Amino acid sequence: MPYLFTSESVSEGHPDKVADQISDALIDNFLAFDANSKVACETLVTTGQVVLAGEVKSKAYLDVQEIARGVIRKIGYTKSEYMFEANSCGILSAIHEQSADINQGVDRKTKEEQGAGDQGMMFGYATNETEDYMPLALDLAHKILQELAALRRENNEIKYLRPDAKSQVTLEYDDNNKPLRIDAIVVSTQHDDFDSEEKMLKKIKKDIVNILIPRVQAKYTKYAHLFGSKIKYHINPTGKFVIGGPHGDTGLTGRKIIVDTYGGKGAHGGGAFSGKDPSKVDRSAAYATRHIAKNLVAAGVCEEALVQVSYAIGVAEPMGLYVNTYGTAKIDMTDGEIAKIVSAIFDMRPYFIEQRLKLRNPIYSETAAYGHMGRKPEIVEKEFRSPEGKVVKKKVELFTWEKLDYVGKVKKAFAIK
């Protein structure tokens, strides 16, 4: 019988995402000046305060305070009434050198033998229910908040928006796991103070339903038919949401791992991404398994795929590779047989993942809000400035793990025409 499935997203101004973006900005700056940097950086944000902590091995020296302020400024925390503001917040750095015990497990005499930066298992997932091979509920939840952020920056049709926001989308699926309609949409957005709470709630709900949602439909035309007249809207359901961001709730790096990945579909190994250089397989192998899953589905091997890889710290070869097609395989093979062929196509040793996906580049700031998966691969030029005034300009390719560059190889290996 039909069932409901829900996914959520959070905006770039959500406190946990503020922390993620600061951590990834530090990663990008270290990699821009020293591509061999090893970094594990955590960020905590709260009322008027940022705390940076972690381990770094790098030739680069950075002004971490100014990098953090730049991120906060870009997000939009630029007013003193937010109680967390780019120019005035305190920033404490407790970053120190990476443990030699960990480093000896990663660095090897030859690059190809580079060991995994930690043990653990990582998952990648893909489904053909959207054009970007992502679960639809999460895709919609992301797009609602991306459009809300665009409205905030335009400061035209809606003038009272503040940076913190959350969204949630509930879909109804049929017996064949196909989306039928949107059952419910939840949007909670931080806002300026109003004269009356009743007036505020009425105004915000009207603007979300009549301005925001039509803009999402217009840009997401393939699924516009799912936006029926029976959607249940819950807009700022707790009422007033003036106090938000790091002043309303402490933020930490790595607390939105389901928002970052597949919205509850597939599986998650538990390791966060932001603040970690690509020697940490929590990040690089999660990207690599997404790359595999997406290319498998796009090549026509299956309609849905979950790929797991696992590692031991300091060991280059993975412990194993697992594939689950959820019974949607279009070829006459078991999932185990599919996994064996996948292992021959994709070298999952950490060094080769880094090389294949070009991960030793400053490409991570863009991943830290609105999901690491399902994004558009593109080449951009980025500029970085050191405390000494040295300027580095780099052309980098973003979201390489989203490319369908292995579809041909997959089709050949599975004899798909």
Q: Residue 165 annotated as binding? A: yes
Q: Residue 222 annotated as binding? A: no
Q: Residue 272 annotated as binding? A: yes
pLDDT band at 72 (very low <50, low <70, confident <90, very high): very high
* DSSP 8-state assignment for residue 18: H
Q: Residue 166 annotated as binding? A: yes
CA distances from 60 to 53, 64, 94, 120, 384 (A): 17, 11, 16, 29, 12
> Contact at 8 Å (CB) between 284 and 53?
no
Q: Residue 273 annotated as binding? A: no
| Tens digits of residue pLDDT in 255-278 | 999 999 999 999 999 999 999 999
Instruction: To the nearest 10°, report the CA torsion of 240, 242, 244, 248.
Output: -80
* DSSP 8-state assignment for residue 14: S
Q: Residue 402 annotated as binding? A: no
Instruction: To the nearest 10°, report the CA torsion of 327, 401, 373, 283.
Output: 100
* DSSP 8-state assignment for residue 322: E
Burial 127-147 (b: 16+ CB within 10 A, else e): bebbeebbbbbbbbbbbbbbb
| Tens digits of residue pLDDT in 27-36 | 999 999 999 9
Amino acid 204: pLDDT: 97
Residue that is written with structure tokens 């990945």 in the block: 261
d(CA 30, CA 42): 14
Strands (E), 18-127: 38-46, 49-57, 90-97, 120-127
Amino acid 104: pLDDT: 54
Q: Residue 249 annotated as binding? A: yes
CA distances from 24 to 34, 37, 389 (A): 15, 13, 21
Which top CATH class is 3-10+136-245? alpha beta
| Tens digits of residue pLDDT in 372-408 | 999 999 999 999 999 999 999 999 999 999 999 999 9
Q: Mean pLDDT over residues 43-53, rounded?
A: 98
Label each residue of 120-146 as H, E or C.
EEEEEEEECCCCCCCCHHHHHHHHHHH
Nearest CA among 407, 169, 132, 122 for reference residue 283: 122
Q: Outline where 10-57 has alpha helix (H).
A: 15-33
Q: Residue 276 annotated as binding? A: yes
CA distances from 338 to 61, 317, 329, 410, 413 (A): 46, 19, 9, 10, 10
**Within 13 A of 247's CA, how many CA atoms are on the CB side?**
19
Q: Residue 20 annotated as binding? A: no
Q: Which sequence spans correspond to the domains of the chain? A: 3-10+136-245, 15-100, 120-128+257-413
Amino acid 110: pLDDT: 73
Task: Enter the pTM of the model.
Answer: 0.96
pLDDT band at 150 (very low <50, low <70, confident <90, very high): very high
| Tens digits of residue pLDDT in 218-252 | 999 998 899 999 999 999 999 999 999 999 999 99
What CATH number does the domain located at 15-100 have? 3.30.300.10
Q: Residue 255 annotated as binding? A: yes
Q: Mean pLDDT over residues 36-60, rounded?
A: 96
Q: Residue 397 annotated as binding? A: no
What's the maximum distance between 2 C-alpha atoms anywhere in the chain? 67
d(CA 335, CA 338): 5
Burial 52-91 (b: 16+ CB within 10 A, else e): bbbbbbbebebebeebbbbbbeebbbeeeebbbbbeebeb
pLDDT band at 169 (very low <50, low <70, confident <90, very high): very high
Question: Is 120-128+257-413 CATH 3.30.300.10?
Answer: yes
Q: Residue 28 annotated as binding? A: no
Same fold, 3-10+136-245 and 120-128+257-413: yes
d(CA 183, CA 230): 7
